Amino acid sequence: MAILQLRNHIPISAPARREPVDGTESTMRVSLGFEPAWFHRRCGIDFSELWHHDPYYRYESLRTMKQELVKDFPSVTYWDTHYINDLATISGMYGAYVIPQVFGITLRYAPDRWPDIMPGAKLTIGEIEHLEVKKLLEGQFVGELFQQMERVESEWGMIHGYLNWQGILNNAFHVRGQEIFIDMYDKPDFVHNFFSIICDVMIQLARRVQERQRRSGFYIDQLSVSNCTVNMLSPDMYYEFVFPYDRRIALSFERFGVHTCNWDVTPYIGILQQLPKMGYLDMGIMSDMAMVKRHFPETRRAVIYSPTALHDAHIETIREDMEKVWDELAPCDVVMADIQADTPDERVNDLLKICRDIEQRGEDP
């Protein structure tokens, strides 16, 4: 069976997600994303609690933000002011903390950044041991989430968007805190039980949300896991504690992918190869990208480029980095996420031009 690929997708003002490929992808497709402070400074958008809870405010703010992006970066084709379905969206809601809120973790909001975990908001071992998947999915937060989707459909029809489900270890870290890493040594059975609960919640809630979206006319059947904390574990520990649940998730959806953030994916290549339906895999530029390309020929690959490097590096250094990506990983996405508020537009446009110039050599790598 052919692997159904995903490509990187950064909803406007939201953390990066993935979406199905559609055949229009260029050999070095640049996926741009900007931190909320960028939009707050230029457009006056307030990303406090209202943005995440009121689809009408979110709709109008996204219209304003898209107009600014089209004006500043005219060569980018995936922002279309005539396309309005992506304004009536659930993308970006609650940032990276959908699942932690199901577990009762409180968020704090700010006008110029994504929400984060309230300091001290974590569960104890005793609290986790009494968790039940059914009760979690009947909680207040889940009800509010579906109420928002109902409002979107009643006003605009299609429920567009991609929630940020994170991954097993990320969610465990958000709910339990850094103690989860100690638990792996001291209480491995507890960790597996906890991870199994998280996995069930992710699968069941994502299926419910996506089924509701499909009924509204937005086709979605996917889950890409965000393993941003994977480099906190050795490959053996990843295989023991996280891999079984990543595999369960992969088998539960039509499309699947793995986000490893801006880390070195090389030590995990052999294990990640064992996951089914690998439609997407990203990595940091320090990874052995040529090895990734050899071992994942059917996977849509992506490299995460540092927003600090974009801001600070000499332009020739950026060009050399993109040449390396072309030589070792393309065809692929170049994920330029979290662009800082004070990064000049000229620098972003320079990156886009560099990648276009490299592509115009005429031959695929």
pLDDT one-digit tens code per residue, 222-253: 999 999 988 999 999 999 999 999 999 999 99
For residue 69, what pLDDT band results from cuts at 50, 70 and 90?
A: very high
For residue 363, what pLDDT band results from cuts at 50, 70 and 90?
A: low
pLDDT digits (tens, 9 = 90+) for 259-283: 999 899 999 999 999 999 999 999 9
pLDDT at 197 over 70: yes
pLDDT digits (tens, 9 = 90+) for 315-328: 999 999 999 999 99
Rounded CA separation 157/11 (Å): 19
Which residues contact residue 289 at a Cβ distance below 8 angstroms, ignoring those fewer than 6 apart? Answer: 283, 301, 303, 324, 325, 328, 329
Alpha helices per DSSP H over the chain: 36-43, 49-53, 55-72, 98-102, 125-129, 133-137, 140-156, 168-176, 179-186, 188-216, 235-241, 243-250, 269-272, 289-295, 307-312, 315-328, 345-359
Look up residue 63 and give its two tokens.
Answer: 């219209």
User: Which fold would CATH assign to domain 6-359?
Assistant: TIM Barrel (3.20.20)
For residue 2, what pLDDT band results from cuts at 50, 70 and 90?
A: confident
Look up residue 115 and give its two tokens.
Answer: 């929400």
Q: Residue 29 burial (CB < 10 Å; 0-12/13-18/19+)?
A: buried
Say what percent of the chain tops pLDDT 90. 96
Q: Residue 166 burial (CB < 10 Å; 0-12/13-18/19+)?
A: buried
Say what percent of the chain tops pLDDT 70. 99
Q: For tokens 């567009």, what's the residue?
A: 160
Look up residue 292 and give its two tokens.
Answer: 């990734």
pLDDT digits (tens, 9 = 90+) for 76-135: 999 999 999 999 999 999 999 999 999 999 999 999 999 999 999 999 999 999 999 999
159 neighbors 152 (Cβ within 8 angstroms): yes
Stated as kind and residue range, the H or E segment containing 139 is: none
pLDDT digits (tens, 9 = 90+) for 172-192: 999 999 999 999 999 999 999
